[in-house]
Amino acid sequence: MPRPAAHASDAAAAPGDPLVDTHGRVHRDLRISLTDRCSLRCTYCMPEQGNEWLAKSSILTLDEIVAIARVAASDGITTFRLTGGEPLLRADIVEVVRRLAAISGPDGRPVDIAMTTNGIRLPDVLPALVDAGLRRLNISIDTLRRDRFHELTRRDRLDDVLDGIAAAAASGLRPLKLNAVAMRDVNDDELVDLVEFATAHDAQMRFIEQMPLDAGHTWDRSRMVTQDEILATLSSRWSLEPVPGRGGAPAARWLLDGGPHTVGVIASVTAPFCGDCDRLRLTADGQLRNCLFSTTEYDLLPVLRADPAAGLDVDIDRMLRSCVRGKLPGHAINDPSFLQPVRGMNAIGG
């Protein structure tokens, strides 16, 4: 994978300036992957066996994550979303949240801390996470049927996920979002059930079009369930009215029977939303990425570890700007020359 150095023309932008790419998109959201490890093995994300884990020595320490996050916040990043792999597998997860939540932007406002999780372990750690400053949760659940869950995730842990969702629903964290990848002949007969389950938990259901990000590279366009199909299925049960004002959000939303509940669809394949993308990604091993589908990474490990005394903040800032400047206008999944990233979703950070 190409490892570009910082761009010479980045000298034009000063630390503290917003992270604006060459297409005018201002970056506000940093997805921080805390680990590539996971308690599940979802078929669309990880192989059943033989995954090549990141070397422990290359995983960012808490201090390193905070060093990057501080510079990102000073450059206008307002949201940190913790992900993975499974972020709750990180032993220092409460401390990660506490340290990140203490960071403020240039206007003095604290950053917003969100997490995407499979929900396992949430009942144990959620009170401490909330106390540490976690503000929002997205929990993934693709099916409500135990046998299917086992087959799809290769682990018999549906009850643990349901307990996690119950804990989240009982907490004050709102909006609460539940994510499902819609898959043909796997869970496409459960779309209505999942929305009803979500609304019963005061949560917003969001369906994700399956993307070519599985570690096994088995994605097949003809197998994916499209946004149009999802909406057609849901409209047999509810009237759907588009919610305006999406901004940079990945999900387009619809009011169910006039509201207040909504459903979201993340249609990265059939209705890409790259023109409004405000996201950057940091992998657990210190690689900055400007897109889920990027085949280029910007390596912060040498910056962090070579000579920590030598202008670290300036060097992190330069690398952030270089990554932003390298961002393409769109992901080109639909281009015949599209190349799937080498890393699977668990190693990129979803």
Of the residues 19, 30, 32, 45, which one makes contact with ligand SF4 according to CB under 6 A:
45
- Give the Cβ contact number of residue 237 at 10 Å: 13
Tell which positions 104-133 bind ligand SF4, by CB under 6 A: 118
Binding partner selected for residue 264 from ligand SF4, ligand SAM, none, CB under the kind-specific 5 to 8 Å limit: none
Q: Is residue 346 at the binding interface for ligand SF4, with CB under 6 A as the rule?
A: yes
Q: Is residue 226 at the binding interface for ligand SAM, with CB under 6 A as the rule?
A: no
Q: Is residue 346 at the binding interface for ligand SAM, with CB under 6 A as the rule?
A: yes
- CA–CA separation, 299 and 318 (whole Å): 12
Q: Which token pair is 339?
A: 């190349």
Asked if residues 294 and 341 have their Cβ atoms less than 8 Å apart, the reply is yes
Q: Which one, 75 or 285, has the nearer CB to ligand SF4?
A: 285
Query: Residue type at 22?
Result: T
The alpha carbon of 282 is separated from its chain's Cα centroid by a whole number of angstroms, namely 10
Binding partner selected for residue 210 from ligand SF4, ligand SAM, none, CB under the kind-specific 5 to 8 Å limit: ligand SAM
> Closest Cα to residue 132, out of 165, 181, 99, 104?
99
Binding partner selected for residue 199 from ligand SAM, ligand SF4, none, CB under the kind-specific 5 to 8 Å limit: none
Q: Is residue 287 at the binding interface for ligand SAM, with CB under 6 A as the rule?
A: no
Q: Which token pair is 254?
A: 């619809």
Asked if residues 102 and 136 have their Cβ atoms less than 8 Å apart, the reply is no
Closest distance between ligand SF4 and the C-beta of residue 44, in Å? 7
Residue 158: phi, psi to the nearest 5? -60, -40
Closest distance between ligand SF4 and the C-beta of residue 139, in Å? 10
Provide the 8-state DSSP code for 168: H
- The b/e string for 127-140 (b: 16+ C-beta within 10 A; e otherwise) is eebeebbbbbbbbb
Of the residues 6, 42, 88, 126, which one makes contact with ligand SF4 according to CB under 6 A:
42
Q: Which one, 7 or 295, has the nearer CB to ligand SAM?
A: 295
Q: Which token pair is 129?
A: 């996470």
- CA–CA separation, 323 and 297 (whole Å): 8
Q: Is residue 89 at the binding interface for ligand SAM, with CB under 6 A as the rule?
A: no
Q: Is residue 152 at the binding interface for ligand SAM, with CB under 6 A as the rule?
A: no
Of the residues 118, 187, 204, 287, which one makes contact with ligand SAM according to CB under 6 A:
118
Question: Which of these ranges, 19-27, 94-102, 207-215, 278-286, lies near ligand SAM under the rule CB under 6 A?
Answer: 207-215
The residue ranges that bind ligand SAM (CB under 6 A) are 38, 44-45, 83-84, 86, 116-118, 140, 179, 181, 208, 210-211, 213-214, 345-346, 350
